[in-house]
Structure 1
């Protein structure tokens, strides 16, 4: 099971690398065409992609660190490095979104009107399509391997596709004497980027502070309650290590059972959660039913 999870992280690296390669190529293309065609919007979009290279590298580093095995200082492993990478990516995305908003509002007050070559618009459309395809790939990969970091990269990809579309709208609008389209679309795009960054930040901090989906907790509880030998489920707690769920369970069993029988029930609980819900590890504490006091051992 552990090997499969490490293999998933290796697959996640592929998504981060694809994002890095795409951003490097598109950054160069946008800066060159933006300068040649006289489009400040496309050049700004290229600089935006340059910062995304840093975010994707942070995701890649996080995925690599998460693969390190447990050691003396990290007895549970380094899984949370993946979540930290998502957090770093959200900071970078928020900075980019705020920069887009700042420049957009600045354009409104300055009243600038530019009419760059339409080559810049074609380039923007091409880049948006490329980023959308990268987004679709990373989203499918993130869903398949259940990776927070790769999903954060995918959200960054789609936000960049929106930035390129916004630049295209502004460029085309300037050709028809509609200079207000550029800042308006830029403001909308900036807000979308900031919202995406906030969603990633909220999810990452939720996991880092041991938050967990309460609906999943109830599913775990229902599964445990249906296992033969479990009298009651006193408590179920869970937390995330990266994309892995760690579950702590307190159950009661009949007080007349011996230690081996109680242990076997605990093993059944562990196996059921591992197989049914694909959790990473399960810790089970067993107690006798309160009204029965003849049990001498408890786990």
Structure 2
């Protein structure tokens, strides 16, 4: 129940991003048009694409809450990771578009002088996005959500884009329009870097990669469980914000079923104390070399 409560809490962050992007994109497009700022209009279009990314995250969180069924016996938790993957692709597309436009403008700079109002709008929007970024990042850590973490980094990228937009507008007003394009180029690189990081983390999860340090820590804890003679094998995988550990241990072959079962319960509780969202699947085997002495 706590898992699905966390996923529902994650929806608040997705909805906050969607609402903020709708509001800011409208403001930037309107003021950018009235204030003759190509940079602010481009920033507004950037936020329009972010609406799609946030909707993808929201859909992923919704699907993740579905209970296990016949075809998904581990549940639908990886839908959240798929949402992160989709968000990374959208961010890459936006980053490439920003880089392309900035390079084109370096060779053919826009000479139209924008209104000073567009500077304040860009900075104000950057502040709003930074606040949303901090909220979503804190929430993603609290509920251990990869999709919401991806959304938070997208929020941060958009805040940086707006700051860069403001710098470019100032440069255009004082007579150096090329700085607008150079700033946009660096911002595009930052967006691509963030997208690649999110993409790599999602791919690692979907291909069942697992943190070796976490495996080593769990191995040490399980080996110290009373009744465990040898840890034969341990594997781990991530499903959204849930971890599944498969453990094979050997025990005294002369224990009865009840005593062996108690050892599996000790292992499960030990793993839970390490990580409340970690579930252990324990397989018990008789220790062949055991002498039979307690």
Residue in 2 that maps onto 1:269: 267
SS in 2 for 1:216: helix
Question: In the comparison of the two structures, how many residue pairs are matched?
Answer: 292
In the TM superposition, what are the counterparts of 1:226-241 in structure 2 within 5 Å?
A: 226-241=224-239
Contact 2:271–2:278 under 8 Å retained in 1: no
Residue in 2 that maps onto 1:149: 147
- The whole-number CA distance in structure 2 between the counterparts of 1:141 and 1:184 is 34
Question: Which of 244, 247, 254 matches 1:246?
Answer: 244
Residue in 1 that maps onto 2:71: 73
Contact 1:19–1:134 under 8 Å retained in 2: yes
- Unaligned stretches of 5+ in structure 2? none
Residue in 2 that maps onto 1:297: none
Provide the TM-score with structure 1 as the length reference: 0.95
SS in 1 for 2:177: coil
Residue in 1 that maps onto 2:280: 282
Provide the TM-score with structure 2 as the length reference: 0.97
Contact 1:59–1:85 under 8 Å retained in 2: yes
Displacement of 1:222 in angstroms is 1.2
SS in 2 for 1:180: helix
- The whole-number CA distance in structure 2 between the counterparts of 1:166 and 1:114 is 18
Residue in 2 that maps onto 1:102: 100
Displacement of 1:293 in angstroms is 8.4
Residue in 2 that maps onto 1:90: 88
Residue in 1 that maps onto 2:214: 216
- The whole-number CA distance in structure 2 between the counterparts of 1:100 and 1:229 is 60
SS in 2 for 1:152: helix
- The whole-number CA distance in structure 1 between the counterparts of 2:48 and 2:188 is 16
- Unaligned stretches of 5+ in structure 1? 295-299
- The whole-number CA distance in structure 2 between the counterparts of 1:17 and 1:183 is 32
